[in-house]
Amino acid sequence: MAQQDQVKRSHGFLRLVLMVVVVLACVWGLRTFVIAPYEIPSGSMETTIMTGDRIFSEKITYYTRDIQAGDIVTFDDPINPGRTLIKRVIATGGQTVDLRDGVVYVDDVPLAESYTHGLPSYPLSVTAVDVSFPYTVPQGDVWVMGDNRTNSADSRSFGAVPVANVTGKACAIYWPLNRIGGLS
């Protein structure tokens, strides 16, 4: 009888270990291939996304379509490895970005950017790489800018971002509760 109890306890322990392994594998799979949470540390996307907001960035969209202008994306920081940034895609490979009198032009068409709340878009005086305008985005790259144009280190500072560095499309704010909602 004691031996049967020992076997039952061993089987119970093995089932518990197996369940923990399966749960951890599922969490890893979801974070790697489906969705990842992020906390926003800066004001570069205000007022669309506020400092301290927590967002989900999903990865499924880019399995079925290319990145498009207007998408809010998360990507690996080209200057600070290991850090993830979030910005809005302004232009994709082959398009030309220009900044004139505080207005962003893509292929000589001024953008209507209500999400900037009228903040001007000027070239940055301090940059990590030499960026001059007009700037043609290389194929396989995207040009990204923060919605808070006067407080954003973005492609004006570090240049175009390789599509391979994009980790997902920001899809929702999940915290704080009074800001829960979708992102577009």
Where would I find the H helices in 34-142? 61-64
Task: For residue 69, give Cα distances in angstroms to 41, 62, 141, 184.
Answer: 24, 13, 12, 11
Residue 78, phi then psi, degrees to nearest 5:
-70, -20
Under 8 Å between Cβ of 174 and 183: no
Token pair recorded at residue 1: 């009888």
Task: Establish whether 87 is a catalytic residue.
Answer: yes
Token pair recorded at residue 2: 């004691």
Q: Name the catalytic one among 8, 10, 42, 44.
A: 44
Q: Name the catalytic one among 57, 59, 87, 155.
A: 87
State the residue for tokens 């004139």.
Answer: 100
Under 8 Å between Cβ of 169 and 73: yes
- Supply the residues annotated as catalytic: 44, 87
